[in-house]
């Protein structure tokens, strides 16, 4: 439920509405707006409670309108928070009109590998460096990542290059040290519904890049974001990375680009696209990256490896530095054409 206050409503009128909500056993959420203030009730209300509370509140001084929210998520909803959220992750910014590119290898493999990838990414115009230290691999025999050593490498390379750094955490125990080493915590597709992990990320003092689960609906995706937001961390960037395909013989996933305008219509959180996991095929990445910009995304996450053929994970979908540079040039041209600004 959202209570919209009248233009010029006084603080004591706002306080009165809040105490009436508390009197009904719910915690109000005050949402300052550009010109008018709104007060939300994030709790799920029963039909009887809705009638009861709306009847009481609509008669209070200073109240303009009482509306029911139509979606199960509240804090993530544009209804609750009409201004677009801008997320700052170290030196990088997501949202607010700019188009931000995160690039780097799937896995951190060594200091020289990450350093080379980072320099190529930065020189081509990326603003943030990605790289996994804890890797969610389908097989337990596949490379699992350099773990803490990888995080130390990421920190060093981030400081050296001035790029923001993003890495995945797979468990609650990994959050604290990762948060010390990088600017942004990634929650991977497989972990999107790991609720204790979402809660831990919500308590961390770092922004979160939340990837959509391979079979998650939009509501499930936004409710996962809601877990992070509800712990007091307002800095969530959503990442569309493809959903389970009906045909795996050509692509690894089906990149759901309709998720971009749909999310933009329903949430204030920035939305980026990962066409690398979204397609699984390096040669399909550039066109899907361009399409993501055209669809209104706030940025991209791209896998780029100095030598994709020798990558320890996801080489088939990784661009080499030359292909990445070409893509960045094409993105800049398209951004100019669309009146968008590249970060």
Which residues in this chain contact Mn ion in the complex, by CB under 5 A?
Answer: 106, 314
Helix (H, G, I), strand (E, B) or coil at 152: helix
List the single partner that 183 binds among ligand PEP, Mn ion, none, CB under 5 to 8 Å by kind. none
- Which residue is closest to Mn ion by CB? 106
Instruction: Give the residue with the Cβ less far from ligand PEP, 50 or 190.
Output: 190
- Which residue is closest to ligand PEP by CB? 188
Q: 255 near 300, Cβ under 8 Å? A: no
List the single partner that 81 binds among ligand PEP, Mn ion, none, CB under 5 to 8 Å by kind. none
Least gap, CB of 253 to ligand PEP (angstroms) = 8
Least gap, CB of 109 to Mn ion (angstroms) = 12
Pairing of strands 38-40, 2-5: antiparallel
Q: How many CB atoms lie within 10 A of CB 162?
A: 12
Pairing of strands 236-240, 271-273: parallel
Distance CA 47, CA 36 (A): 27
| Phi, psi torsion values for 94, nearest 5 degrees | -120, 130
Q: 239 near 128, Cβ under 8 Å? A: no
Instruction: Give the residue with the Cβ less far from Mn ion, 183 or 314.
Output: 314
Least gap, CB of 227 to ligand PEP (angstroms) = 17
Least gap, CB of 305 to ligand PEP (angstroms) = 12
List the single partner that 136 binds among Mn ion, ligand PEP, none, CB under 5 to 8 Å by kind. ligand PEP
Helix ranges (DSSP H) in 168-320: 172-181, 195-203, 218-229, 259-266, 275-279, 285-295
Residues whose CB is less than 8 angstroms from the CB of residue 21 and which lie 6 or more positions away in sequence, other chains included: 27, 28, 39, 41, 53, 57
Which regions of 26-118 does DSSP assign to beta strands (E)? 29-31, 38-40, 63-67, 87-89, 92-94, 98-104
List the single partner that 189 binds among ligand PEP, Mn ion, none, CB under 5 to 8 Å by kind. ligand PEP
Least gap, CB of 208 to Mn ion (angstroms) = 18
Least gap, CB of 161 to ligand PEP (angstroms) = 19
Instruction: Give the residue with the Cβ less far from Mn ion, 211 or 268.
Output: 211
Instruction: Give the residue with the Cβ less far from ligand PEP, 65 or 142.
Output: 142
Please give the distance of CA 292 from its chain centroid, rounded to a whole number: 15
Residues of this chain that interact with ligand PEP (CB under 6 A) are: 106, 132, 136, 188-190, 211, 241, 274, 277
Instruction: Give the residue with the Cβ less far from ligand PEP, 77 or 165.
Output: 165
Instruction: Give the residue with the Cβ less far from ligand PEP, 128 or 189.
Output: 189
């Amino acid at each position: 439920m959202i209570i919209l206050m009248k233009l010029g409503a006084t603080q004591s009128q706002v306080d009165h509405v809040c105490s009436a909500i508390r009197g009904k056993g719910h915690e109000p959420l005050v949402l300052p707006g550009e010109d008018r203030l709104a007060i939300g009730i994030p709790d799920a209300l029963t039909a009887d409670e809705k009638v009861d509370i709306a009847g009481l509140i609509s008669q209070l001084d200073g109240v303009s309108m009482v509306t029911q929210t139509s979606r199960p998520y509240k804090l993530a909803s544009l209804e609750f928070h009409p201004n677009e959220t801008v997320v700052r992750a170290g030196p990088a910014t997501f949202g607010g009109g700019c188009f931000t590119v995160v690039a780097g290898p799937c896995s951190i493999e060594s200091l020289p590998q990450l350093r080379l990838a980072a320099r190529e990414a930065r020189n081509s115009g990326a603003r943030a460096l990605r790289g996994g230290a804890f890797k969610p691999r389908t097989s337990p025999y596949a490379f699992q990542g350099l773990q803490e050593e990888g995080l130390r490498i990421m920190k060093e390379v981030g400081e050296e290059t001035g790029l923001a750094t993003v890495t995945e955490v797979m468990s609650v125990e990994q959050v604290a040290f990762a948060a010390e080493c990088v600017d942004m915590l990634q929650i991977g597709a497989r972990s999107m519904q790991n609720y204790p992990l979402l809660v831990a990320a919500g308590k961390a003092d770092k922004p979160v890049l939340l990837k959509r689960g391979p079979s998650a609906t939009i509501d499930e995706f936004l409710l996962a974001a809601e877990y992070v937001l509800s712990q007091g961390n307002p800095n969530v960037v959503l990442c569309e990375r493809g959903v389970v395909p009906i045909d795996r013989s050509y692509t690894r996933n089906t990149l759901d680009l309709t998720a971009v305008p749909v999310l933009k219509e329903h949430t204030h959180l920035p939305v980026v696209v990962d066409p690398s996991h979204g397609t699984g095929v390096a040669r399909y990445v550039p066109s899907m990256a361009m399409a993501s910009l055209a669809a209104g995304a706030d940025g991209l996450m791209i896998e780029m490896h100095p030598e994709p053929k020798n990558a320890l994970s996801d080489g088939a979908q990784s661009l080499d530095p030359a292909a990445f540079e070409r893509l960045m040039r094409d993105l800049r041209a398209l951004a100019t054409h669309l009146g968008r600004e590249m970060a």
